[in-house]
Amino acid sequence: MKKLMLASILICLALVAGCHSRSQTPKTDKYMQKDNRAETDIQAEAATGNKNHKISVLMDIGDDNLSQAQIDQRQQLNKWMGNDLVGMLNKAGYGANLIENRSQYKSGTYLLKVTIVKYNAGSKAARIVVGFGAGAVSLDTRYELFAPSGNLVLSDEHGVGSSIEWTSCARKLNKQTLKAVTAKLK
């Protein structure tokens, strides 16, 4: 009986260790494809009257005191979130474009700056094997919307967690940001 229990524990440990990636960097290959899920509730509200609003989106990885692996994670997350947010803004009727730094900002447009405050990639192996929220991904962001005059008109922080995938957190935060921007610019 003890040998059977020991063998099953060793098999479980081997499965968990085998599923663990050496790098916590999100694998973006399959996630970088265009996501065509409709955000009809937000788009329907936003599509009227937004053609006059041009928005430059600036993504920021946040804290500079991170390891190189964490910086790489945040850069990949920023790339995915930025492209997704620009797509959502364009679908909602805004003229949005992604900029890499503040010097690319064109005056006369709104500036939406999104900063990653905290990111925990979690453990995919724990999500698969244990479930029930183990190994969950968490993501906190802060966004600031500046008017064409340069005045701060909107600022807030949001945080979400998911036991599914990191893209779920990013998508949820982008939806919340779009909803807040739409409410402010009505």
Phi then psi for residue 6, to 5 deg, are -65, -40
Phi then psi for residue 90, to 5 deg, are -65, -40
Secondary structure of 2-33 as H, E, C letters:
HHHHHHHHHHHHHHHHHHCCCCCCCCCCCCCC
Separation of alpha carbons 2 and 5, rounded Å: 5
User: Looking at 93-133, which runs of residues are DSSP E strands?
Assistant: 95-99, 110-120
Phi then psi for residue 156, to 5 deg, are -165, 165
Residue 51's pLDDT is what?
59
pLDDT in tens, 52-98: 788 989 988 887 788 888 788 888 888 999 999 999 999 999 999 99
pLDDT in tens, 117-151: 888 776 666 656 666 656 677 888 999 999 998 89
pLDDT in tens, 147-169: 998 899 999 998 988 777 788 88
Cross-strand bridge partners of residue 156: 143
Residue boundaries of the structural domains of the chain: 52-185
Return the percentage of the chain with pLDDT > 70, whole number. 71
Which tokens in the block code for residue 40? Answer: 């009809």
| Rg, Å, the chain Cα set | 20
Q: What CATH number is given for 52-185 in this structure?
A: 3.40.50.11830
Residue 27's pLDDT is what?
54
Residue 94's pLDDT is what?
92
Residue 17's pLDDT is what?
62
